[in-house]
Amino acid sequence: MAVFHAFRALRPTPEKAADVAALPYDVVNREEAKSIGDENPLSFLHIDRPEMDLEPETDLYDDRVYEKAKENLDNMEEKGILVQDQKACYYIYELVRKGKTQTGIVGCSSIDDYMNGVVKKHELTREDKEQDRIHHVDSCNANTGPIFLACRYPDSLLTLMNNWKDHHEAAYDFTEEDQITHRVWVIDEDEVISEINKEFAGIDSLYIADGHHRAASAVKVGLKRREQNPGYTGEEEFNYFLSVVFPYDQLCILPYNRIVKDLNGLTVKAFLGALKFNFELMLMPGFPCKPVEKHCMGMYVDGQWYHLKAWPDIYEKKDVVGQLDVSILQEKVLRPVLGIEDPRTDQRISFVGGSHKAAELAEIADRTGGVAFVMYPTSMEDLMKIADENKLMPPKSTWFEPKLRSGLFIHKL
pLDDT digits (tens, 9 = 90+) for 203-238: 999 999 999 999 999 999 999 999 999 999 999 999
pLDDT in tens, 37-48: 999 999 999 999
Asked if residues 28 and 145 have their Cβ atoms less than 8 Å apart, the reply is: no
- Is the confidence at residue 263, as pLDDT, over 80? yes
Return the domain boundaries, the chain.
Answer: 4-252+401-412, 256-376
Residue type, 268: V
Report pLDDT for 126. 84
CB proximity list for 244: less than 8 A, separation 6 or greater: 93, 104, 105, 106, 146, 147, 148, 149, 404
Rounded CA-CA distance 334/376 in Å is 16
Report pLDDT for 39. 96
- How does residue 320 score in pLDDT terms, banded at 50, 70 and 90? very high
Which of 125, 138, 140, 139 has its CA nearest to residue 215?
125
Q: Got the DSSP string for 334-379?
A: ITTTT--S-TTT-TTEEEEETT--HHHHHHHHHHHT-EEEEPPPPP
Report pLDDT for 27. 87
Judge if the upstream peptide bond of residue 402 is cis by omega within 30 degrees of 0.
yes
Phi, psi of 23 (to 5 degrees): -60, 155
Helix then strand count (H, E) for the chain reads 13, 21
Rounded CA-CA distance 408/184 in Å is 9
pLDDT in tens, 344-388: 889 999 999 877 888 999 999 999 999 999 999 999 999 999 999
- Is the confidence at residue 19, as pLDDT, over 80? yes
Report pLDDT for 108. 98
Positive or negative CA dihedral for 34, 39, 45, 46?
positive
Rounded CA-CA distance 252/106 in Å is 19
Q: Residue ranges of the alpha helices (H) in 233-298?
A: 268-275
pLDDT in tens, 69-93: 999 999 999 999 999 999 999 999 9
- Is the confidence at residue 308, as pLDDT, over 80? yes
Asked if residues 215 and 119 have their Cβ atoms less than 8 Å apart, the reply is: yes
pLDDT in tens, 390-400: 999 988 899 99
pLDDT in tens, 148-207: 999 999 999 999 999 999 999 999 999 998 899 999 999 999 999 999 999 999 999 999
Q: Taking the model in full, what pTM does it have?
A: 0.92
- DSSP element (H, E) containing 172: strand 172-175
pLDDT in tens, 132-148: 999 999 999 999 999 99
Q: Helix (H, G, I), strand (E, B), or coil: what is residue 408?
A: coil
98 torsion bin: left (phi>0), alpha (psi -120 to 50), beta (else): left
Report pLDDT for 128. 87
Report pLDDT for 294. 96
